Chains A and B, each alone.
Chain A
Amino acid sequence: MDVRSQVSMLFHLDKCIGCHTCSIACKNIWTDRKGAEYMWWNNVETKPGTGYPTKWEDQNIYKGGWEKIEGSGDLELKGAGKFKGLKNIFHNPHLPVMDDYYEPWTYKYSNLIESPAMDDQPTARPVSLVTGKPIDVKAGPNWDDDLSGTPDYARKDPNLANLTPAERDAMFQLEQMAFFYLPRICNHCLNPACVASCPSGAIYKRGEDGVVLINQKVCRAWRMCVTACPYKKTYYNWSTGKSEKCILCYPRLEAGVAPACMHSCVGRIRYLGVMLYDADKIKNVAKADEKDLVQSQLDIILDPNDHEVIANAKANGIADSTIHSAQNSPVYKFVKEWGMALPLHPEFRTMPMLFYVPPMLPVMASLSAVKNEKQNDKLDPIAKRWDDNWLYDTSTEELWGTIDNARFPLQYMANLFSAGDTEKVSKILKKMMAIRMHRRGVTVGDLSKEKVNGALKDANLTAEEADAIYYLTSLAKFDDRFVIPASHRELAIEMLEDTADVKGSTGFGFKERPLRGV
């Protein structure tokens, strides 16, 4: 057992309001630079939708992630690696081009300020941040936000594969349409394709917290990582000639501050915590059959209260504080204890270490036939009469009927979070529904105890668990959501250099002398 620790984030999608505050916070801190304007280390997508870069999930286009070779069962990068990389060394057609992202732009505001008096209003024309010339804005990073341009974007969502035409059509019927938001950052995978693809060896997964980083001094702009990452979360900076990616705000983590995206989250949907996992099993889990992929990935996460795990963790140099954080990790609770969260697109086989609680809303989805005649008779003669006779089913008469007929077909959710396994998604949705009924029983009291208990039993929950989930979902304070250990930089530095040598001279941490001299 090779126990390692991973700082992992969890997104409670039911709480995401799609305000993009996280994206802006990230942009302001990290990517508001020349060459990085188009990058969104954190972005929020509307689902169904094609996302950013457009259709990133379609690996027939971008060739990201791993592929299991038939026969030997070994893994191979779909679009990178030694031979494939060499083949495309001068021209890599799988790379997303700028139009697949979008051409970043600003407006020429000075036109408004400096305009002389004239007959027409001055205008601030859009100006490309790449060429500096006026452009026609063609697309933006969230161009399909809130289902805008549905025929072009949402209907081409790669996750609609395996859905029956009827199911697909139902998703886009007027008055039935629904969508939810999917915030995305780098998944800090356990089997990262970007690390495997880098010809320069510039990308690495940090030992102490599993953050995947690109060494800017080693990066040689091969851009194989851009192809290899199935989430398209490494970006090439055309100005510096280096690739960049989400760093999980590690300088903030080391200072005990939450990542910018999490800190700024309006809906408080994000949770950050430590998880311990068994690195020995990674090879087998990444190669697992598609149907076992999710379960085996969840199984690799270890119980931080288990004595054997703790002993092995200590033997591996994991600090007590890290183990302690793992025991209180909100992410561990959601993912393992309560089984309410799933990774995004596990079928790419990179073993992503961010987890998502799938959205239950909009759950009042299925329609019931009703008779409106009586109601209509009562109306004033000049009032508008509705001829149709349907209504959203808001009743809780039937326990699980609404879940199976949810406006979001279970298959769609399953394509996103469980490699197509609807059972996994429906289990979680049932749990969420049971908790909702339980809390309605407690606070409103219009549901019978019998019914609530039946629901909890069906969902395999106890009332205490339901309350705990409710607490962490709705009432949690910041310190409940953000549980990570103090960083041990001093220990990390000691692993690399002998600190006693520089004690009393320049202090710790200078690898290079500052320009001004010391």
Chain B
Amino acid sequence: MIILKKLNRLIQKSILLILLISFSISTITFSQNNGEKIFLTVCRACHTIGQGKLVGPDLVNVQNKLTEDWIIKFVKSSQSMVKSGDSSAVSIFNEFNKVIMPDQNLSDTQIINIINYIKEKSTTVSTTDVVVTPPFTLINSLGFNLDQAGKEDVNFGRQYFTGEKRFTNGGPPCLSCHNVVKDQLISGGLLSKDLTNAFTRLNAAGVDAIISSPPFPIMRTAFTEKEITLDEKYYLLTFLKQTDKDAIYQHPVNYDKKFIYSGIVGVVILMGFFGLVWSNRKKVAVNKDIFNRQKKSK
């Protein structure tokens, strides 16, 4: 009976926990349905409307190319569509360097709102023009672009990346979730993508877009009201660019089992040291020998 009661209580507790978690997740989702607002915060990092490719395709007149149902499905979970072998999904995925589009926690109506916004916006763009992706330029407050960045800037970028320098608005350092292969850095977090080859994968525009308005739910919440400033972004980009370039010259250390072995050896040494220091301690009762000899009832 007692066990049953305990089990019951455990179930109640876990239900409560699940409710709590789902509630906190739902607060991340958007409450307003304004298509423009959602597009600007969520989609714009990778997509444009009539301004050419970024990380993902230009969405101009997307409503004519694909059905509404298909878009809703794809936005909600692009990978499951790719895996199910949907031909247009696979071809888009392949066309854009197999960069995974993150799943968006949006409702059907919200997605429809976005499509309506795109529809509206597409009319202002002349569809007959051949859209050429403009070259990406980022110019910092001193008027330098990425190609003019020097060693100093890379250095600053590294400091921001590791958290050695705090972001002005208090955002978390990149290292806590991301890793880059770089000899002078300790390995970073494994919570999200390794950024060593981020530049090759996404090119400058993509990286810039993700940093400016993160499309990933967790990253978005982490940087809500803690936006990265223009100069900080500039430094981070130069750093990531350099990292990408240097990647082949790095010697990533494989700690693997060294950690555990050195831990064990350390413990043995420490215990031995303690044993020596406290060898004269009183460890047992003074009468232990006598008590051990005494007869015991079982």
Interface set of A (CB-CB < 8 Å, partner B) = 50, 53-55, 61-62, 93-94, 96-100, 134, 136, 138-139, 149, 152
Contact = CB atoms under 8 A, between A and B. Distances in A.
Contact of A136 (B283, B288, B297): B297
B286 A61 contact: yes
Given A98-B285, A99-B285, A138-B291, 10 more contacts: A53-B286, A54-B285, A93-B281, A96-B286, A97-B285, A99-B286, A99-B287, A100-B285, A100-B286, A149-B290
Nearest to B291: A138
A149 B296 CA distance: 18
A97 B285 CA distance: 6
B287 A139 contact: yes
A136 B281 contact: no
Contacts of A99: 285-288, 291
Interface string B255-279: 0000000000000000000000010
A152 B297 contact: no
A100 B297 contact: no
Nearest to B285: A99
Contacts of A134: 297
B294 interface: yes
Contacts of B65: none
Contacts of B295: 136
Nearest to A95: B282
A53 B282 CA distance: 14
Contact of B282 (A94, A98, A139, A149): A94
A152 B282 CA distance: 19
The interface centre, meaning the residue of B290, B295, B296 with most chain A CB atoms within 10 A of its CB, is B290
Given A54-B287, A99-B287, A100-B287, A61 B294 contact: no
A50 B290 CA distance: 13
The interface centre, meaning the residue of A55, A94, A136 with most chain B CB atoms within 10 A of its CB, is A136
Contacts of A138: 287, 290-291, 294
A303 B66 CA distance: 115
Nearest to A98: B285
A98 B288 CA distance: 11
B287 A136 contact: no
Contacts of B287: 54, 99-100, 138-139, 152
B81 to A, nearest CB: 59
Interface residues on B, range: 10 to 19
A94 B282 CA distance: 6
B274 to A, nearest CB: 12
A99 B295 CA distance: 16
B294 A136 contact: yes
Interface of B: 278, 281-283, 285-288, 290-291, 294-297
Nearest to B283: A93
Contacts of B296: 136
Contacts of B285: 54, 97-100
A258 B278 CA distance: 46
30 contacts: A50-B286, A53-B286, A54-B285, A54-B287, A55-B286, A61-B282, A62-B282, A93-B278, A93-B283, A94-B282, A96-B286, A97-B285, A99-B286, A99-B287, A99-B288, A99-B291, A100-B285, A100-B286, A100-B287, A136-B294, A136-B295, A136-B296, A136-B297, A138-B287, A138-B290, A138-B294, A139-B287, A139-B290, A149-B290, A152-B290
Contacts of A100: 285-287
Contacts of B281: 93
B286 A139 contact: no
Contacts of A97: 285
Contacts of A136: 294-297
Contacts of B282: 61-62, 93-94
A96 B295 CA distance: 24
The interface centre, meaning the residue of B278, B285, B296 with most chain A CB atoms within 10 A of its CB, is B285
A265 to B, nearest CB: 29
A134 B296 CA distance: 12
Nearest to A139: B287
B283 A54 contact: no
A215 B213 CA distance: 65
Contacts of A94: 282
Nearest to A60: B280
A139 to B, nearest CB: 6
A61 B281 CA distance: 8
A50 B286 CA distance: 10
Nearest to A56: B286
A139 B283 contact: no
B278 to A, nearest CB: 8
Contacts of A149: 290
The interface centre, meaning the residue of B281, B283, B287, B288 with most chain A CB atoms within 10 A of its CB, is B287
A55 B291 CA distance: 15
A152 B294 CA distance: 12
Contacts of A98: 285
Contacts of A62: 282
Contacts of A55: 286
The interface centre, meaning the residue of B281, B282, B295 with most chain A CB atoms within 10 A of its CB, is B282
Nearest to A143: B287
Contacts of B297: 134, 136
A278 to B, nearest CB: 38
Nearest to B292: A138
A153 B282 CA distance: 19
A209 B148 CA distance: 88
